[in-house]
């Protein structure tokens, strides 16, 4: 995850804080909350807070936050606009503590939203995947099948 690694807690600069606060849920929802600093963002993205990785709502928090960060950074949201609206409406009424009390249909819906957001965040739907191709560390950053760091060599690079 780009956002986990660019929050200022490692060698990379903090590029997360400029986009905060970001609401998970609608800003007037009883269960909604604002992600207000990079440390909280990283904890949510790592699924270390507000539940655990086995909790579907915790997973949804992570994917929704990553998607909203991508959008704040300029990515087109047409492919997931409705998913974000539905997820925010849901998270306005439910939080991670409600996961085990949800019926199977609601759980399946949460996991569907999580999967759609994950597909968006990984470039499978929406504007595509982009990464730091100027890092000059000679490793294969472009997630294709060749050993080149060149996004034009076997990989269609889409700039946000």
> Higher-confidence residue: 43 or 6?
43
pLDDT for residue 32 is more than 90: yes
Which residues have a Cβ under 8 Å from the Cβ of 89 and sit 6 or more positions away? 26
For range 7-13, the mean pLDDT: 84
For range 17-30, the mean pLDDT: 98
pLDDT for residue 148 is more than 50: no
CA dihedral sign, ordered 63, 69, 75, 78: positive
Cβ atoms < 10 Å from Cβ of 86: 15
* pLDDT at residue 7 in the model: 84
Q: How confident is the model at residue 82 (pLDDT cuts 50, 70, 90)?
A: very high
Q: How confident is the model at residue 18 (pLDDT cuts 50, 70, 90)?
A: very high
117-143: pLDDT as tens digits: 999 999 999 987 665 433 434 334 443
38-70: pLDDT as tens digits: 999 999 999 988 999 999 999 999 999 999 999
Burial string for 44-77 (b: 16+ CB within 10 Å, else e) reads bbebeebbeeebbbbbbbbbbbbbbbbbeeebeb
Q: Note whether 38 and 63 are within 8 A (CB).
A: no
User: Which is nearest to 24 in space by CA: 126, 96, 82?
Assistant: 96
Which runs of consecutive H residues, i.e. helices, occur in 20-129? 38-45, 56-72, 81-91, 104-121
Q: How confident is the model at residue 4 (pLDDT cuts 50, 70, 90)?
A: confident
């Amino acid at each position: 995850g780009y956002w986990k690694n660019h929050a200022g807690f490692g060698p990379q600069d903090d590029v997360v804080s400029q986009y905060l606060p970001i609401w998970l849920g609608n800003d007037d929802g009883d269960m909604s909350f604002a992600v207000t600093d990079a440390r909280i963002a990283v904890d949510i993205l790592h699924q270390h807070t507000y539940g655990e990785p086995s909790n579907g709502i915790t997973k949804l928090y992570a994917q929704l936050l990553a998607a909203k960060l991508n959008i704040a950074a300029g990515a087109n949201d047409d492919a997931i606009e409705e998913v974000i609206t539905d997820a925010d409406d849901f998270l306005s009424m439910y939080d991670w503590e409600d996961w085990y009390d949800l019926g199977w249909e609601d759980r399946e819906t949460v996991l569907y939203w999580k999967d759609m957001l994950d597909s968006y965040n990984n470039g499978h739907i929406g504007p595509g995947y982009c990464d730091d191709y100027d890092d000059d560390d000679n490793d294969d950053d472009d997630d294709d099948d060749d050993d080149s760091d060149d996004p034009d060599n076997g990989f269609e690079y889409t700039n946000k």
